[in-house]
Amino acid sequence: MLTIYLLGLGILWIVYDHLLLSPLSKIPGPPLACATRLVLMYYEFTRRRRRWIHQLHVKYGPVVRIAPDEVSFANWDAVKEIYVSDGSGYDKTSFYHLFDNYEHECMFSTLDKTPHGERRKRFSDRYSKSFIMQAEVMDGIRERAEGFVARCTEKAGVAADIYILLHCYAIDCITRHLYDPQGMRSLTEAADLMTVKELLFTDNFRESYFQYYFPDLSRLLSRVFSPANRLRLLAARTLNATRRSDISNHTVLSKFKSSSEQLETKSIASELLDHAIAGIDTAGDGLCFLLHHLSLPASASIQEALRAELTEKEGTPIDGLPYLDAVVKEGLRCFSPVPMSLPRRVPKGGRTIAGAYVPEDTIVSCQAYTLHRLNADVFPDPEEFRPERWLKKEYVLERNHLFFAFSTGGRGCIGKHLAMLEMKMLLKEVYSTCRTHISPEMTASMEQLDEFITTRPIDQKCLIVFEKVI
């Protein structure tokens, strides 16, 4: 009885400390979540973190406490402070070690900003816009976009499952950029298609969160059980490519190999594998949500406006097509493939963020899903798909500030120019020659299913009919 009594007192003291004595006690949030992280963990393990946090912002405003030591923000002042200030914002949390590969860090999983910056410099030129727009890079993407259209139109009137084919397109593009000619050709090669399906349909979601919260127990259990590894085939492919010497000059791997300071093979492979996975998630899932929406009956006028621009401005450089750019940006706003929180740790001494004092070591974050919806002045009718909003001069600066599909600052997505080009090239090839509509057989849900920081269609299927117009 005494043990139970003491345990009860201990719990009451923890709750009292978290709710009343904590420096975060003045920040609004649900009391139970402020008292114990178990609430946040519940929403994470049940894949509802993103929507739960968004509803908290709708209720409490742009600053919300979501755990005893964690705060979520949803305005530009916070984005600027957390992700842009002091060079590359605040350091990452241990959450990012989930993205280590071959037991080696990559740029994305490097926690401290200084070694991150040093690693990024090794290959950042391969992702600059000027490099991406070179003919050698663009021609490879165009070839794969044409291959996608060919697959979708090979049987007239028969629906194509674009969920699979778009991820094939994305992985074929990114692996060519990483280690051509060893890159994948999953749009045409059956063995490579198997690799894509392993990536798409193997789910390690809960195992990875368990690893984050209970690392020691997770390591112990992994010795007894052998959970499915969604990266198995791609990881082997990437490691083998890293060991090759016959690599094209335009690739990221070529840049690593030409460096005067050589990294060990698994360290390079960890970087390349991370880029490959990121490339699949951004372009593949983003395009799937976007093409599905454009194929709805309500979007017929958007298709026609896009086709009109592509026809009237045939031969115009792809960056000179404003409506195409607006369609892609609106797709990334509405269906951001990385909609989740991107956690950071407050530096020593604490900081004031968006008017709220936050002590050191507190976890802070913003999520694209909420930044793209909460401010009705910048994004009126935020649930409506309106490409035209990106063509208006009013609030243009604010729109670009709150556009968080690729994060921002020194640790923002290095591959954003490549991803944007892949998306634009694919839409250009599709809507220059085709109309698309939802197949009558399409009953799968396109609701967004949360992963760690990414999202994908809940039923992982999307049947679209491609109708040739020329």
CB-based contacts of 400: which residues, under 8 Å, 6+ apart?
none
Going by C-alpha positions, the residue among 353, 413, 411 that lies closest to residue 26 is: 353
Distance of CA 422 to the CA centre of its chain: 15
Q: How far is CA 107 from CA 224, 277, 278, 433, in A?
A: 31, 13, 12, 39
Q: Let me know if 394 is exposed, middle or buried by CB neighbors in 10 A (0-12, 13-18, 19+).
A: exposed
Going by C-alpha positions, the residue among 107, 74, 112 that lies closest to residue 92 is: 112
Are 368 and 336 spatial neighbours (Cβ–Cβ below 8 Å)?
yes
Amino acid sitting at position 334: C
Q: Which two tokens stand for residue 466?
A: 């491609």
Cis upstream peptide for 68 (omega within 30°): no
Q: Which two tokens stand for residue 18?
A: 């978290």
Local structure of residue 101 (DSSP, 8 states): B
Scored b (16 or more CB within 10 A) or e, 254-283 reads bbbeeeeeebeeebbbbbbbbbbbbbbbbb
Q: Which two tokens stand for residue 344?
A: 């950071």
Per DSSP, the three-state class of 248 is coil
Does residue 288 have a known ligand-binding role?
Answer: no
Q: What span, in angstroms and rounded, lies between the C-alpha atoms of 156 and 465?
A: 8
Total count of residues recorded for the chain: 470
CB count within 10 Å of CB 347 equals 15
What residues form DSSP beta bridges with 437?
465
Amino acid sitting at position 116: H
C-alpha dihedral sign at 115, 116, 117, 122: positive
351, containing H or E segment: strand 351-353
Q: What span, in angstroms and rounded, lies between the C-alpha atoms of 108 and 240?
A: 21
Annotated binding-site residues for heme read 413
Annotated binding-site residues read 413
